[in-house]
Structures are given as structure tokens and as C-alpha cells.
Amino acid sequence: MLTDQQIHQFHTFGFLVLKNMLKEDELKVVNEEFEKGYTKKNKSELIAGARVQLNWSNLDHHSPYTASLLEDKRFYGIAQQLWGEDVIGTNSQSNHYAGTRSPWHPDVGPNTHGCKFTFYLSPVDAESGALRVIPGSHRPEISDMIRKIRLKDNDPGPPEDPGLAVNEVPFCSCDSQPGDAVIFNYLIWHASWHGSKNRRMVSLQYYKNPKTPEEIVALQAHGAAFTKNKKEKLTVAQPYPDFWTSNPENSLLRARWIEWLREWGFMESIPA
């Protein structure tokens, strides 16, 4: 669980690096399950341009242990500390990157709240594909300013005055070892640089249950944006696997999440 200072730090800067969240034996299983998923994945379903990314759901029969982490108190307990008791576990994904960079972006638009746990399966640092973040950029006051800066990947501009490349934007590197988790607010601007062609990352995703009218509208818009992302090949439509939705152990927690996902229209496909 997080200390009060860590919670304060997360809300101030928009992210945390948590050391040794997965033990060695757990990592071994997660790596094996990743390999199974990667083998099974259709390699033609590349997404997200420069990232050269393949992603797939872990909520399936090939990765039962990784799927179980979404309901593991170590993680959803932290998500509850950050977003309330009724936080929703929405997804767990595996990601394989063969591109050397991920352009700067936040994961969602304003007023959609939640966090992603990312586990990089090999050591990464600033020059080898670690997550780069702009501390505090989950705040609209900073995020709105960043949107005004021309970023090379989004808007290259003329050759004599190109936009900023990924490595020209000031950042904090979330260096990590296997087993560490980087947890970040969906709204924070993040990127990566100089990743290997075999970079592997597993994520757990949680959403705040929307309360305010702004949050409700934003979550509805997020669904619409997801459809747009599918069209632009930023993600691939995948139905929630029966393996997970059948909820064979009758987990009350999962039952509540599934009900929420149905209510908000996410059951047809998994938000990336």
C-alpha cells in the first residue's frame, strides 16, 4: 500500500515508480505467459505507428496468473487509495514494441481519471526505452500548454523549423528493473526513446468510477475516442475474453467490474 507521502507525490507529479512489486517466481510466470500470448498473436495486427506495437489482453486462458494480478490487492488496493473504494479494474494487457520510440501523448482526454501500472520485463533506462514522463503534466494547466508545442511526431512542420523530437522534450525517466511497477495517471504526457526491438511491457488498468457531470461526459467521450482509435489503428478491437467474463470463481469484485463495464459500454471491446 502507498504511504500518505506517496499518494501526495502521485497526485502532485502524476506518477510513481514502485520497486520490487513482483517477486522473481511471479516474474517467471508472467514472462512465460507473455511468450504464449506473443506466439499466439497475429503479427499483422501492428498498431500505433512509430511504436510498432502489438498488444493483446491478458484476461484470457493463456495468461491466468497475469490476469489474476488485476484483482490482486497489491495493485487494486493501491488503485483504491488513489481513486476511491469503487475503482474499476478494466483491463490487463501485454505489449510488444519493435519501434525505437513512443511519441509523447497522454492516454485519455481531460476529466477521465485512472491509472495504469506498467511492468517492463527487462531493465530499461532513459536511453533504452524506459517510460519518460513530464512530471505534473496530468494537470490541465500544463497539459494545455504542451498541446500548443509542435511535437515532431504529431506535426512535423517545415524542415527548417521541425517540431520537437521525443528526446527534445524535458522529461523524467522512470528507470526500472523487472519486477518494478511504474504507475501513472492516464492524463500524464509520456513517451519512450531508443527502445529495443523486443521491448515487453505488461499493464494493469484502473478507472475511477465517474462522479461529477464532467467525469461522466468524459468517460462517455472516451468510448467514442476508442472507436476513433480503432479506425486510426492505434488499437485493435478485441472482445473481453469469456475466460474472464464468465467469472468462474464468482468473484464479487470482478462481478461488480463486469457490471460497470457493461453499463458504460466497454464490454463490446477492450479499451487500450
Of 56 and 193, CB closest to another protein: 193
59 Cβ contact partners less than 8 Å away, ≥ 6 residues apart: 67, 70, 91, 92, 240, 241, 243, 244, 270
- Exactly one of 9, 68, 81, 229 binds another protein (CB under 8 A); that residue is 9
- Nearest approach, Cβ of residue 135 and another protein (Å): 4
Regarding 230 and contact with another protein (CB under 8 A), the answer is no
Q: Are 220 and 109 in contact (CB under 8 A)?
A: no
Regarding 19 and contact with another protein (CB under 8 A), the answer is no
C-alpha cell at 77: 488496493
- Exactly one of 46, 165, 172, 225 binds another protein (CB under 8 A); that residue is 172
Angle formed at CA 244 by CA 27 and CA 81, multiple of 5 degrees = 65
Secondary structure letter of residue 212 according to DSSP? S
Of 85 and 160, CB closest to another protein: 160
Of 103 and 241, CB closest to another protein: 103
C-alpha distances out from residue 96 to 47, 55, 125, 212, Å:
10, 6, 17, 36
Of 164 and 267, CB closest to another protein: 164
Regarding 159 and contact with another protein (CB under 8 A), the answer is no
- Nearest approach, Cβ of residue 89 and another protein (Å): 26
Q: What is the Cα–Cα distance from 134 to 137, expressed in whole angstroms?
A: 6
Angle between helices 73-83 and 4-13 (to 10 degrees): 70
Binding mask 127-156 for another protein (x = CB under 8 A): ------xxxxx-x-xx--xx-xxx------
Would the CA dihedral through 15, 18, 24, 26 be positive or negative? negative
- Sole window of 30-38, 48-56, 169-177, 228-236 interacting with another protein (rule: CB under 8 A): 169-177
- Exactly one of 171, 207, 244, 257 binds another protein (CB under 8 A); that residue is 171
* Number of Cβ atoms within 10 Å of the Cβ of 184: 24
Amino acid in position 148: K
Q: What is the Cα–Cα distance from 53 to 103, expressed in whole angstroms?
A: 12
Of 174 and 258, CB closest to another protein: 174
Can you give the binding site for another protein, defined by CB under 8 A? 3, 5-6, 8-9, 12-13, 15, 133-137, 139, 141-142, 145-146, 148-150, 161, 164, 170-172
